[in-house]
C-alpha cells in the first residue's frame, strides 16, 4: 500500500530514540492488516524542555498518535487535555491520541507486565517481589495490584518503595531484606541493573532463585538474556524477558492508534527480526 497525503502519522518521542524498535513493530502491524496506506509510524528525537513545542507541532500537523518514552512520560502529562484514569494512577503517560485537536493520554505499559504474566499463571494471591520503584515499577505495581497479587516492593531507596507501596496497598522493603525473595512466587525486576553498560550486574543473587520462581526482567536492551534471566534459567526457573513487555504494551497501543486488534505474531516477528539486525 502507498503512503499518501491522507496517511495518518504516528510518532515515538524520546531521547535517545534512534534505537527504538517501535517503528518496525507498528509499521509491520499496519502492513499485516493492509492499513499501511492509512497509518505510518516514525521516530522523533525530542529533547527535555521541548515538550511545549512538540505539542504545538502535534496539533498543527494533526499528528494522530504519539508514543511517549524516556525521559518524557511524566512531564508530558501537564500538556494534555485529558488523562485516562489508569494513566493517572500510574502517574505516567506512554500513549497520546489526538482526537480532533483534543489530546488524550493513556498508559499501556502495565499491560506489558500483566499480559505476559497472565499467559503463564494466575496472579491473584501470588507472592510477588517487585524490584525497583522508578517509572517502570509504577506500571508494574498497578498491573500486579489489578491482578490481585500479594505485592512487596524492594528498593535501594526505601522511601521511594514506601511511597509506591502506599498507592497500591503493597509492602515496602529495603534491599537488606532481598533474601526474602526466595519465598516469592514471582520476581519482577524494573531496576536498571543489568542494562548496558552494566551487563554483568544482577539485582538478585543467583542463590535466591529457585526452579519454583517465575522471573520477569522488565528491562530489555538486546535479544540476549540479561544476567538475571541467564541465572534464572540455570536454576530451572520460568523466565519472561523484557521483549514481552515491549511487545505487549505495543499491542495495546496499536489498538488505541488504529482501532484494530494488533496482529501480534507479525509484530513479534518484525521486532525479533530488527533485534537480529541490530545486534
Q: Which residues from 99-138 bind ligand ATR, rule CB under 6 A?
A: 132-137
Which position's Cβ is nearest ligand ATR?
A: 134
Task: Please identify, among the stretches 45-53, 118-126, 164-172, 190-198, the one whose residues bind ligand ATR according to the rule CB under 6 A.
Answer: 190-198
Q: Which positions from 73 to 102 touch ligand ATR by CB under 6 A, shown as an x/- string? A: ------------------------------
> Which residues in 122-193 belong to E strands, given as ranges?
127-131, 150-154, 171-173, 186-189
Q: Could you confirm whether 163 is annotated as catalytic?
A: no
Geometric angle at alpha carbon 230, from 224 and 235, rounded to 5°: 155
Residue 16 lies near ligand ATR (rule: CB under 6 A): no
Rank residues 90 and 123 by Cβ distance to ligand ATR and give the closer one: 90
> Which residues in 113-267 belong to E strands, given as ranges?
127-131, 150-154, 171-173, 186-189, 214-217, 238-240
Nearest distance in Å: CB 219, ligand ATR: 7
Query: Which CA distances in Å does 82 have to 34, 93, 96, 99, 105?
Result: 31, 11, 10, 11, 6
CA distance 271 to 269: 6
Rank residues 16 and 134 by Cβ distance to ligand ATR and give the closer one: 134
Return the axis-axis angle of helices 109-120 and 135-146, rounded to nearest 10°. 50
Rank residues 116 and 135 by Cβ distance to ligand ATR and give the closer one: 135
- Strand pairing report for 171-173 and 186-189: unpaired
Nearest distance in Å: CB 156, ligand ATR: 3
CA distance 131 to 161: 9
- The catalytically annotated residue of 34, 38, 47, 73 is 73
Nearest distance in Å: CB 257, ligand ATR: 23
Cβ 72 vs Cβ 96: under 8 Å: no
Strand order in the sheet with 238-240: 171-173, 150-154, 127-131, 186-189, 214-217, 238-240
Identify the burial level of 63 via C-beta atoms within 10 angstroms of its C-beta, where 0-12 means exposed, 13-18 middle and 19 or more buried: buried
Residue 163 lies near ligand ATR (rule: CB under 6 A): no
CA distance 9 to 62: 8
Residue 177 lies near ligand ATR (rule: CB under 6 A): no
Backbone φ/ψ region at 197: left (φ over 0), alpha (ψ -120 to 50), beta = alpha
Nearest distance in Å: CB 73, ligand ATR: 8
Q: Which of 157, 183, 224, 261 binds ligand ATR (CB under 6 A)?
A: 157
Nearest distance in Å: CB 32, ligand ATR: 30
Q: Which of 191, 226, 253, 274 binds ligand ATR (CB under 6 A)?
A: 191
Q: Which of 115, 146, 174, 192 binds ligand ATR (CB under 6 A)?
A: 192
Rank residues 203 and 263 by Cβ distance to ligand ATR and give the closer one: 203
* Active site amino acids: 73
Binding interface with ligand ATR (CB under 6 A) = 132-137, 155-157, 160, 190-193
Amino acid at each position: 500500500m502507498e503512503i499518501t497525503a491522507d496517511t495518518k502519522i504516528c510518532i515515538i518521542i524520546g531521547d535517545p530514540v534512534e534505537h527504538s524498535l517501535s517503528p518496525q513493530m507498528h509499521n509491520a502491524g499496519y502492513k499485516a492488516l493492509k492499513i499501511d496506506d492509512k497509518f505510518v509510524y516514525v521516530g522523533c528525537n525530542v529533547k527535555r524542555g521541548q515538550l511545549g513545542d512538540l505539542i504545538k507541532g502535534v496539533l498543527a500537523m494533526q499528528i494522530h498518535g504519539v508514543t511517549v518514552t524516556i525521559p518524557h512520560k511524566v512531564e508530558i502529562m501537564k500538556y494534555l487535555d485529558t488523562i485516562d484514569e489508569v494513566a493517572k494512577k500510574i502517574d505516567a503517560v506512554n500513549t497520546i491520541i489526538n482526537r480532533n485537536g483534543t489530546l488524550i493520554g493513556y498508559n499501556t505499559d502495565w499491560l506489558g507486565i500483566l499480559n505476559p504474566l497472565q499467559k503463564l499463571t494466575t496472579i491473584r494471591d501470588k507472592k510477588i517481589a517487585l524490584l525497583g520503584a522508578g517509572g517502570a515499577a509504577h506500571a508494574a505495581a498497578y498491573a500486579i495490584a489489578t491482578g490481585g497479587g500479594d505485592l512487596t516492593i524492594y528498593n535501594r531507596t526505601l522511601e521511594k518503595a514506601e511511597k509506591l507501596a502506599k498507592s497500591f496497598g503493597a509492602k515496602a522493603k529495603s534491599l537488606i531484606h532481598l533474601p526474602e525473595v526466595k519465598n516469592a512466587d514471582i520476581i519482577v525486576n524494573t531496576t536498571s541493573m543489568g542494562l548496558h553498560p552494566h551487563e554483568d550486574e544482577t539485582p538478585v543473587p543467583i542463590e535466591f532463585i529457585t526452579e519454583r520462581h517465575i522471573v520477569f526482567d522488565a528491562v530489555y536492551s538486546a535479544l540476549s538474556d540479561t544476567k538475571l534471566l541467564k541465572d534464572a534459567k540455570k536454576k530451572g526457573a520460568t523466565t519472561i524477558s523484557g521483549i514481552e513487555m515491549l511487545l505487549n504494551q505495543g499491542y495495546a497501543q496499536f489498538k488505541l492508534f488504529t482501532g484494530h486488534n494488533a496482529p501480534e505474531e507479525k509484530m513479534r516477528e518484525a521486532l525479533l527480526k530488527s533485534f537480529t539486525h541490530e545486534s
